[in-house]
Amino acid sequence: MRIGELAERAGTTTRTLRYYESRGLLQARRAENGYRTYDEGDLRMVRQIRTLQDFGFDLEETRPFVDCLRAGHPAGDSCPGSLAVYRRKLGELDTLIDQLQSVRTEVGAQLARAELEASAEVPGGPEPRCELNREDEDR
């Protein structure tokens, strides 16, 4: 198939495919007329890259998966390099989840404080304050 068909079937653009090629993730063959040609294996590689990017993997992190497919494995995540990337990504995600849970706790505490102050206000009382009270300014 030609580059336009590959792009359409993979749900991407020809520009993206050329970029993958420039990064060594996709290897085009050339027909006698000079057009790039691709096969079903290339489609599988592009779909693997796109899926991983949808999951938050950067382009370089997809390389072990592509290499695994190129080595003839039916799935790009069945090689040791791919498994290592999965493990590393899970560690990163766990760290992000912990950070978000901490922020959520802080926001919840701020909301509770603000609601308590708002319920204590009486007509004619002081103007509402809009600043956040943070004990630790270094965060």
Tokens of 35: 């057009």
| Residue owning tokens 């695994």 | 68
pTM here is 0.71
Q: Which residue type, as a one-letter code, is found at position 100? A: L
Indicate the helix (H) or strand (E) that contains 40.
Answer: helix 40-54
CATH code for the part of the protein at 3-119? 1.10.1660.10
Q: Check pLDDT > 70 for residue 129.
A: no
Assess contact for 79 and 73: CB atoms under 8 A.
Answer: yes
The pLDDT mean for the chain works out to: 88
User: What value does the mean pLDDT take over residues 133-139?
Assistant: 57
Q: Examine the pLDDT at 137 and tell me if it is beyond 80.
A: no
More confident residue, 126 or 109: 109
**pLDDT of 110 strictly over 90:** yes
pLDDT in tens, 5-59: 999 999 999 999 999 999 999 988 888 888 889 999 999 999 999 999 999 999 9
- Distance CA(46)–CA(50), nearest Å, equals 6
Tell me: pLDDT of 125 over 90: no
User: What's the confidence (pLDDT) of residue 139?
Assistant: 53
Task: Give the total residue count for the chain.
Answer: 139
Q: Distances in Å between the alpha carbon of 26 and those of 8, 12, 116, 129, 135?
A: 16, 14, 59, 57, 52
